[in-house]
Chains A and B, each alone.
Chain A
Amino acid sequence: DGGITQSPKYLFRKEGQNVTLSCEQNLNHDAMYWYRQDPGQGLRLIYYSQIVNDFQKGDIAEGYSVSREKKESFPLTVTSAQKNPTAFYLCASSMGNSNTEAFFGQGTRLTVV
């Protein structure tokens, strides 16, 4: 079955450590996105990529980094520079044109301990 997979579902990190969240899709989608969601809040865009080897900052990119070396994969690294990383992270993909919807993964809940 085609879909978008995020792993792990739950992740714990010590302060000062970098951590990488995985996002893989087999939908042959060109565009991929990372969002952050805080309790009771909406979605905030971190980074997005419209094509392999290219990505753009979203509204809250500071303290995060991404790569897009393959069409199927768009990993997000939460660096130690991110001051408040505890949140629910959602990855999405789409065909990249305006008529098609985004497909979301199940999310990764990151907790800094």
Chain B
Amino acid sequence: GDSVTQMEGPVTLSEEAFLTINCTYTATGYPSLFWYVQYPGEGLQLLLKATKADDKGSNKGFEATYRKETTSFHLEKGSVQVSDSAVYFCALSAMNRDDKIIFGKGTRLHILP
């Protein structure tokens, strides 16, 4: 079945460091891919998305490129801030019989001032 695998956390970085959170997926067909962010005690918010191969999603300085050849959707940011501390979830949505949204297990990010 469809699945999403993302790097285990927690990830701890200093402010202004470069961030990469790896995400790979397994899916039949052509899924859409998403990154969500969750701040403490809150629900998930969409951070960015890409709906077809080679699309780049971007928002708030974060970017991710849909790589069909490597089945990946890695999240990157050039210079992180303390306010980026949160849990990040990679997800996919595919048109199949179940039509569920599949989430990775989440990666907790800590940014030190």
Q: Which residues of A contact B (CB under 8 A)?
A: 6, 31, 33, 35, 40-43, 45, 48, 50, 56, 58, 90, 92, 94, 96-107, 109
Q: Which residues of B contact A (CB under 8 A)?
A: 31-32, 34, 36, 41-46, 49, 51, 89, 91, 93-95, 98-101, 103-106, 108
Residue in chain B with minimal CB distance to A42:
B105
Interface centre among A100, A101, A102, A104 (most CB of B within 10 A): A101
| Contact A42/B104 with A101-B46, A106-B42 known, Cβ cut-off 8 Å | yes
> Once the chains are docked, how many angstroms separate the CA of A61 from the CA of B32?
26
Q: By the criterion CB–CB under 8 Å, are B103 and A106 in contact?
A: no
> Once the chains are docked, how many angstroms separate the CA of A83 from the CA of B15?
42
> Once the chains are docked, how many angstroms separate the CA of A58 from the CA of B103?
13
The answer, among A31, A58, A98, for a CB contact under 8 Å with B32, is A98
B36: A residues at CB distance < 8 A: 104
The answer, among B91, B99, B104, for a CB contact under 8 Å with A96, is B99
The answer, among A48, A98, A99, A106, for a CB contact under 8 Å with B43, is A106
| Contact A90/B103 with A98-B94, A101-B34, A101-B49 known, Cβ cut-off 8 Å | no
> Once the chains are docked, how many angstroms separate the CA of A16 from the CA of B46?
36
| Contact A45/B100 with A101-B46, A104-B44, A107-B43 known, Cβ cut-off 8 Å | yes
> Once the chains are docked, how many angstroms separate the CA of A85 from the CA of B46?
27
> Once the chains are docked, how many angstroms separate the CA of A94 from the CA of B92?
13
A-B contact pairs, 21 of them (CB 8 A): A43-B89, A43-B103, A45-B100, A50-B99, A92-B43, A92-B101, A96-B99, A97-B95, A98-B93, A98-B95, A99-B32, A100-B32, A100-B93, A101-B46, A101-B49, A102-B46, A102-B93, A102-B101, A104-B43, A106-B42, A107-B43
